[in-house]
């Protein structure tokens, strides 16, 4: 498992699949996962692409220093590590693809360094939700983002692989589609990854940085047309994601100049894991544009 050079003192662990010199792809995982979320997607893309799959700051094999979350675990900080990794590997004209946290960070890369990207392929969260996130149904779903702000999260989960497994199993079961059940091997892997002392708190530094959907939705305003993301963007919007209903896709055109919303039926929040062929096909199509 190679490690990147340090950016702000953080090194990223990453896997690389396929052939250097082929069209490059950067795959970004979500919470509660790690870079192995993207294994099945990478395998499908590798024969014709150069696929880089990192752990984000605070996840998996990447560094997880005890630093101010707002400064070192925000979308901007995560994006800085990723653009440094692309530079280190000599990659440009890249398709960046991600879900959940990886989606938000990918969107940030597209804002900060559009010159490096060919296209963006992401799932929700998307901008434009606004105060709809405070409605009764979303409030019932997003409780965990408030919990992650509490020291109680550290006391109840951090350093306890059994507690981490039970906690993560809830999300992998509740957020997925009706035909998907997380298997024991997957949950055991995540229990180890998140159950190591300090690992769980490092992962929720994303939420403590203000990166969660609730904080971002309440703070966002539509940019001036000249400041919209110009990178061609595809949102793969799943049918059964309890966090992000499809009618929340109605304002994405206020934030992107070239955006397509593609429904993905039958699956939930974890599109790359539940429907890796669909995800891979969308990435390959974006690379071929």
Cβ–Cβ < 8 Å for 261, 167: no
The residue count of the chain comes to 289
Is 14 tagged catalytic? no
The Cα–Cα gap between 38 and 104 comes to 16
Is 170 tagged catalytic? no
Is 207 tagged catalytic? yes
The runs of H, that is alpha helices, within the chain are 39-45, 69-72, 75-89, 101-112, 136-141, 143-147, 151-157, 161-174, 184-195, 199-208, 213-219, 271-274, 276-287
Dihedral of alpha carbons 193, 199, 203, 204, sign = positive
Cα distances (Å, whole numbers) of residue 280 to 122, 232, 275: 11, 17, 9
The catalytically annotated residue of 17, 49, 148, 269 is: 269
Q: Give the closest residue to 71 by CA, choosing from 243, 205, 259, 216.
A: 205
Instruction: Indicate the DSSP class of residue 105.
Output: H
The catalytically annotated residue of 63, 100, 158, 241 is: 100
The catalytically annotated residue of 17, 49, 207, 241 is: 207
Dihedral of alpha carbons 90, 94, 99, 100, sign = positive
Active site amino acids: 100, 207, 269
């Amino acid at each position: 498992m190679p490690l990147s050079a340090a950016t702000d003192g953080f090194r990223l662990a990453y896997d690389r699949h396929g052939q250097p010199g082929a069209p490059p792809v950067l795959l970004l995982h979500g919470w509660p996962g790690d870079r192995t979320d993207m294994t099945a997607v990478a395998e499908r893309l590798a024969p014709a692409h150069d696929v880089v799959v990192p752990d984000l700051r605070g996840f998996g094999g990447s560094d997880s220093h005890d630093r101010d979350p707002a400064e070192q675990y925000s979308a901007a900080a995560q994006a800085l590590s990723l653009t440094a990794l692309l530079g280190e590997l000599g990659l440009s004209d890249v398709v960046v693809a991600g879900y959940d946290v990886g989606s938000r960070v990918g969107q940030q890369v597209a804002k900060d360094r559009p010159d490096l990207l060919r296209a963006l392929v992401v799932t929700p969260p998307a901008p434009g939700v606004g105060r709809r996130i405070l409605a009764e149904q979303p409030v019932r779903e997003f409780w965990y983002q408030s919990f992650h702000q509490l020291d109680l999260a550290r006391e109840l989960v951090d350093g306890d692989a059994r507690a981490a497994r039970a906690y993560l199993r809830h999300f992998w079961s509740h957020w997925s589609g009706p035909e998907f059940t997380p298997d024991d091997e997957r949950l055991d892997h995540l229990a180890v990854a998140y159950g190591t002392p300090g690992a769980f708190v490092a992962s929720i530094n994303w939420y403590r940085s203000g990166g969660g959907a609730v904080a971002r939705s309440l703070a966002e305003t539509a940019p001036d047309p000249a400041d919209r993301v110009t990178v061609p963007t595809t949102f793969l919007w799943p049918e059964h994601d309890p966090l992000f209903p499809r009618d929340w896709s109605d304002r994405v055109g206020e934030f992107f100049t070239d955006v397509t919303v593609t429904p993905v039926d039958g699956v939930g929040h974890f599109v790359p894991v539940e429907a890796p062929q669909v995800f891979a096909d969308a990435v390959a199509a974006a690379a071929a544009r």
